[in-house]
């Protein structure tokens, strides 16, 4: 029996292509992606994963046409409204990573704050939604926070930086999955994914279901995590200490 990955992060990609294949609007692809979100939350809980992070909107996605941006923002609000009660009943804690841009509509902020507040004591799964997230911006923000706290330069360590991230308790990513056959990080969780196992699946996000989640976890279990070491037992010990 394998220990499940503690933190799984998903780059939900391929909504536009899914819609295009059906002669639909890109917005239809985003809407259809809600089913993949619901399936992955359920699959994470069923697999014993305790941290799930979903990439919903990047700092670069502001470059998209305004109607598409507006649609994605409203969709995030709809996903909260449609699923909050069920996720709360499943003991899921919701948190939003990023959400720093003034262009995010106030009513979307309000639903986010409500969801975070309602679920703050849940612990079976922490669902982090990366919305208006960029790995580089996270690092710049942490650097600003360190300076603002007056930490002397010669006392800044990796732990200092980790402690000044938006969510210092967010563990390292063990398994990072990207759908739609794209092989890149697109500025996702650059700090936390430093030693993640990368899995790229051909499935387009709206078709993502529990079986794909399980497939990615199976691939993860077949990997040998070494963390720079050479001897198998030492590497396993490192894996245990990073996921403790
Ligand atoms: C992912 O699907 C959703 C977001 C980036 C918000 P895309 O919209 O990127 O879909 P493709 O890559 O164009 O198919
Ligand atoms: C990354 O997907 C962002 C999300 C999945 C939210 P993109 O489709 O925006 O990434 P690029 O532009 O192909 O790198
Ligand atoms: Mg894309």
Band the pLDDT of 178: cuts 50, 70, 90.
very high
Q: Which one of the listed residues 46, 61, 101, 229 is annotated catalytic? A: 61
Q: Containing H/E element for 51?
A: strand 51-58
CA 15 to ligand 3 center in whole angstroms:
7
| For ligand 2, mutation pick of 58, 132, 208 (most atoms within 8 Å of CB) | 58
Give the integer Cα–Cα distance in Å for 175 and 219: 10
| For ligand 1, mutation pick of 15, 17, 206 (most atoms within 8 Å of CB) | 15
Token output for 18: 């899914």
Band the pLDDT of 231: cuts 50, 70, 90.
confident
pLDDT at residue number 232: 64
CA 34 to ligand 2 center in whole angstroms:
16
CA 223 to ligand 1 center in whole angstroms:
28
- Domain borders along the chain are 7-243
Band the pLDDT of 244: cuts 50, 70, 90.
very low
Which whole number is the average pLDDT over 177-186?
Answer: 98
Q: Please give, one letter per residue, the 3-state secondary structure of 70-136.
A: HHHHHHHHHHHHHHHHHHHHCCEEEEEEECCCCCCCHHHHHHHHHHHHHCCCCCCEEEEEEEEECHH
Q: From the CA of 11, give the closest atom in ligand 2.
A: 5
Which whole number is the average pLDDT over 186-215?
Answer: 98
Residue 61 catalytic?
yes
**DSSP code per residue over 153-209:** GGG--HHHHHHTSSSTT-PPPSEEEE-TT----TT--TTTTTTPEEEE--S-GGG--
Token output for 90: 């499943």
Contact between 97 and 130 under an 8 Å Cβ cutoff? The reply is yes
Which whole number is the average pLDDT over 46-50?
Answer: 98
Q: From the CA of 57, give the closest atom in ligand 1.
A: 6
194: Cα within 13 Å, side-chain hemisphere: 9
Band the pLDDT of 163: cuts 50, 70, 90.
very high
Q: Quick one: CA dihedral 132, 186, 217, 28, positive or negative?
A: positive
Tell me what the pLDDT averaged over the chain comes to. Answer: 95
Residue 229 catalytic?
no
Is the pLDDT confidence value at 149 over 80?
yes
Q: Map tokens 């991230």 to a residue.
A: 165
Percentage above 70 pLDDT, the chain = 95
Band the pLDDT of 1: cuts 50, 70, 90.
confident
CA 16 to ligand 1 center in whole angstroms:
5
Write out pLDDT tens, residues 14-38: 999 999 999 999 999 999 999 999 9
Which whole number is the average pLDDT over 154-160?
Answer: 98
CA 87 to ligand 3 center in whole angstroms:
27
Q: From the CA of 186, give the closest atom in ligand 2.
A: 14
Is the pLDDT confidence value at 184 over 60?
yes
Residues with C-beta less than 6 Å from any ligand 2 atom: 11-13, 55-58, 61, 182, 184, 186
Spatial CB neighbours of 137, under 8 Å, sequence gap ≥ 6? 59, 98, 100
Nearest Cα neighbor of 52 from 116, 5, 90 is 5
Nearest Cα neighbor of 237 from 195, 229, 5 is 229
pLDDT: which is higher, 123 or 238? 123
Region 7-243: CATH code = 3.40.1180.10
Residue with CA nearest ligand 2 atom 11: 186
Give the integer Cα–Cα distance in Å for 143 and 28: 39
Which whole number is the average pLDDT over 85-95?
Answer: 98
Write out pLDDT tens, residues 100-128: 999 999 999 999 999 999 999 999 999 99
């Amino acid at each position: 029996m394998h220990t499940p990955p503690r933190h799984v992060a998903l780059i939900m990609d391929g909504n536009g292509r899914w819609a295009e294949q059906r002669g639909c609007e890109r917005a239809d692809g985003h809407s259809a992606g809600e089913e993949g979100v619901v399936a992955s939350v359920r699959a994470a809980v069923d697999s014993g994963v305790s941290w799930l992070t979903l990439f919903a909107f990047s700092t670069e996605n502001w470059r998209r046409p305004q109607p598409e941006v507006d649609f994605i923002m409203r969709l995030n609000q709809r996903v909260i409204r449609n699923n909050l009660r069920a996720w709360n009943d499943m003991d899921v804690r919701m948190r939003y990573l990023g959400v720093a841009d003034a262009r995010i509509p106030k009513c979307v902020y309000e639903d986010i704050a409500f969801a975070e507040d309602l679920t703050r004591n849940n612990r079976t799964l922490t669902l982090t939604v990366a919305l208006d997230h960029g790995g580089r911006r996270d690092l710049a923000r942490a650097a600003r926070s360190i300076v603002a706290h007056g930490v002397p330069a010669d006392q800044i360590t990796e732990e200092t930086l980790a402690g000044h991230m938006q969510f210092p308790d967010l563990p390292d990513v063990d398994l990072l999955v990207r759908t739609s056959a794209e092989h890149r990080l697109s500025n996702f969780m650059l700090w936390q994914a430093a030693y993640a196992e990368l899995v790229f699946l051909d499935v387009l996000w709206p078709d993502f279901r529990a079986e794909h989640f399980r497939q990615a976890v199976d691939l993860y279990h077949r990997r040998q995590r070494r963390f720079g070491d050479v001897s198998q037992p030492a590497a396993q010990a490192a894996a245990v200490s990073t996921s403790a």
